[in-house]
Structure 1
Amino acid sequence: MTLILNKSDWDKMWQQTVTPELQKFGSDAFEEVLEMPQVAGQGYSGHIELSPGVSLGFADCEYHQDLTIEIPAHDHLIQINILLSGFLDCEGVHPRLDETRSYFSGSGVSPAVTEKHQSGGRLSFVNVEIAPQVLESFLDDRQRQLDNIKQLFKGEDWKVAFYPKVTAKMRSLAQELWHPPYHGAAKRLYLQAKVFELLALYVDLIADSQEPIRNLPRLKPDTIARIHHAKEILTAQIEHPPSLSALAQLVGVSDRTLQRGFQILFQTTVVGYLTQLRLDKAEKLLRQGDRKVAEVANLVGYGHLGHFSAAFKQRFGITPSQCLAGNKAVFGK
């Protein structure tokens, strides 16, 4: 079975795990290290704030079952990600990332994306995030006018991304970030120096690059407002929602634009969003304990009890009957 989680739930699961002893990972007091939630697999991730606007992340995880993480649209810093093992699929928004292809993204707004991880797969990586003003402080007027450099600073527009081939130097720097030879203040200084060396490598690489930039999907402000209106209509009419075509007509967009808008803004389809609404309402009704499972299924628009039970278990990790009995959700809440 595939675990399907939104980003908020996934982050909460990490925060609820027992923090390991730092000595176990050779970590220092200024590092945040968390063990992977056991429901998904084993491993750990870490995060270090090196200086204002500069952070380093790292992870080494092995997945015990298929995992899908739905990440909504969000503000995005400048980011470098290099995989040391495994691969990462992001369902059409990005090409597959692996040990041969890295990720270098500018700042701006990131569209919604779905990450997919396979059971038995191991993923290890280093991740660097830098506030745009930090990089901008190093650029002179000429550099700021270079086309590819300007693409790193998109403000409230959709961000752009590059996918450079991983060179021996990139991999070497990633490994040095993973295994620094120092501890304490010396370690922090060393890591920051290596982060800026890595950033310099990428900035120099793209400054004169002729490779096409990966432009992310755009929606006009008016279209965004219409998509949000469609979401409000579904929320208000959860028991008897309009059809896809009727909903599109109500908000004044085409069926295709409506579907595309939901994918970009909410990382799901129209039907997927409606299903989520129904299941969340069902979970609340079952927690009240005064209705039978079949009655709740009918109240949220499910005519087939088996379909309702299967969808409920996929979202929450327990059956409707277990929820009615007071069992806590494994995930999804």
Structure 2
Amino acid sequence: MAIVISLDQYWELMQEAAVLQHSINSNFEKSWQYSFQLGHGIEKEIWINPHISLSITNYRSKNALVLKLPERKHCLEFCFYLQGSCQISSLGEIKAGESFVFSGGIAPQDCLQHPEREKRLIISIHMGVDYFNRLISPFLSTKNSIAYRLSSPTEDWVYRKSLPINPIIQLVLQQILNCQYQGVTKQLYLEGKILELISLQIDQLDQTHRKSSPKLPNKDIDCIYEASEILLQRLSTPPSLTELAKLVGINDRKLKQGFREVFGTTVFGYLRDRRLEQAQELLLSGQMQVKDAAKTVGYASPTSFNTAFRKKFGIAPSLYCTQKQI
């Protein structure tokens, strides 16, 4: 029988049953013994510095686990499944030998499912988006890159991608698992390996991205990203298509072509989706009624807003508010 719990309940179980173990001669590393209700094994957390943490999950599940994740602020995450599998509502199935990347920002409600009686070995890296941005911003020459999408503070939780773990990444993961150093030497060694791992992962993402990359030159693609940022800043009173094109220095045709190639939708489609996502956040916060949220994001007609909201999220905004209050 599956255990269905919230994220808070999960950590309560871990804290109740766990004997907190601090590594010898270390105040940056700790381990939790898994609750008997969840399985048998260890979860280890190592703080490399105030901005980077490394988690190693090594256990065998007892029951199937359904973990309900709330909307939450989330850092940049690189996760590698060496053994085991999971099902993530927003991403799909992750199998042994695969990895996934989540960009930082406001993570929506999600659901993570693990099967019963399965051996699980997972390495996860968590890094603050601001710290990542400071690391890579001096080297960014174009917005048409995965690194930019991961570091951009204007893009909230938009990038999710699963990838196979290639042999080079597998080697670095094994070096992390087999690290024999202690204390500050261990921190320095692991920091180097983590940065190497992230570099390899971004290179892998870029190669995948380039295979389906837009045909527009980088200069025009930068204009497209600039146009998207203008729309984000002016959701309720957006410029016309012609005005937007002039603001970023390209013609209407390139603007429309660029949005389709970069974002996979029209300029209007991009604006509509961002408006509805903003309205969703306002309704979730409880700050506004439906009609006020609709007006705030630029919908003059409540009927049009209700129709668009239902089409995107599969639920009427009034019912969405009601469910969030339960």
Provide TM-score, normalisation by structure 2. Answer: 0.66
Higher helix proportion (structure 1 or 2): 2
Cross-structure match for 1:165? 164
Q: Equivalences for 1:1-333 in 2 at 5 Å?
A: 1-19=1-19, 21-22=21-22, 28-91=26-89, 93-139=90-136, 140=138, 142-143=140-141, 145-155=143-153, 157-208=156-207, 209-210=209-210, 219-226=276-283, 253-254=306-307, 257=310, 260=313, 273=323, 277=326
Local SS of the residue matching 2:191: helix
Give the Cα separation in 1 of the matches to 2:36 and 2:142: 46
Partner of 1:9: helix, strand, or coil?
A: helix
Summarize the Cα distance change of 1:58–1:232 in structure 2 as closer, same or farther, 3 Å threshold. farther
Partner of 1:204: helix, strand, or coil? helix
Moved more, 140-149 or 178-187: 140-149
Cα distance in 2 for partners of 1:45, 1:214 equals 38
Equivalent AA in structure 2 for residue 48 of structure 1: I
Cα separation, 1, equivalents of 2:7 and 2:288: 19
> Alpha carbons of 1:74 and 1:180: their partners in 2 closer, same or farther (altered >3 Å)?
same
From the superposition, tell whether residues 229 and 132 of structure 1 become closer, same or farther in structure 2 (CA, over 3 Å). closer
Give 1:50 deviation, angstroms.
0.4
Query: How much does 1:104 deviate?
Result: 1.8
- The Cα shift of 1:86 comes to 0.6
Q: Is the 8 A contact 1:106 1:154 kept in 2?
A: no
Amino acid at match of 2:16: Q
Q: Within 1, Cα distance between the matches of 2:65 and 2:322?
A: 17
What per-residue deviation string (whole Å, max 9, x for no partner) do you get for residues 204-250 of structure 1?
223343366999x86432344345659999xxxxxxxxxxxxxxx99
Structure 1 residues 190 and 7: alpha-carbon distance in aligned structure 2, compared to 1, 3 A threshold: same
For the residues of structure 2 that align with 1:150 and 1:136, how far apart are their CA atoms? 8
Change (3 A) 1:126 1:195: same
Pair 132,211 (structure 1): closer, same or farther in 2 beyond 3 Å: farther
Distance 1:182 1:272, change over 3 A: farther
Query: Contact 2:102–2:157 (CA<8 Å) still a contact in 1?
Result: no
Instruction: Assess if the C-alpha contact under 8 Å between 2:143 and 2:149 holds in 1.
Output: no
How far is the alpha carbon of 1:6 from its aligned partner?
Answer: 0.6
Identity of aligned residues (%): 15
Query: What are the ranges of 5 or more consecutive residues in structure 1 without an aligned counterpart?
Result: 234-248, 278-333
Give the Cα separation in 2 of the matches to 1:19 and 1:152.
Answer: 36
Distance 1:200 1:88 in 2: 25
Per-residue deviation at 1:65?
1.1
Judged with a 3 Å threshold, the aligned counterparts in structure 2 of structure 1 residues 52 and 20 are, in CA distance, closer, same or farther, namely closer
Distance change (3 Å), C-alpha of 1:225 and 1:135: closer
Question: Cα 1:54–1:223, aligned 2, differ >3 Å: closer, same or farther?
Answer: closer
The answer on whether the counterparts of 2:63 and 2:117 sit within 8 Å (CA) in structure 1 is yes
Distance in 2, matches of 1:214 and 1:56, equals: 32
In 2, the alpha carbon distance for the partners of 1:65 and 1:100 equals: 22
The separation in 2 between residues aligned to 1:211 and 1:76, in whole angstroms, is 29
Tell me by how many angstroms 1:52 deviates.
2.3
Q: Which residue type is aligned with residue 173 of structure 1?
A: V
Indicate the RMSD between aligned Cα atoms, in angstroms: 3.7
Deviations 1:172-226 (A, max 9, x none): 11122122021222111111110011011122223343366999x8643234434
Task: Check whether the contact 1:259–1:270 (CA below 8 A) recurs between aligned residues.
Answer: no
* CA displacement at 1:261 relative to structure 2: 7.2
Partners of 1:85 and 1:124 within 8 A in 2: yes
**Distance in 1 between residues matched to 2:320 and 2:59, nearest whole Å:** 32
Count of matched residue positions in the alignment of Structure 1 and Structure 2: 253
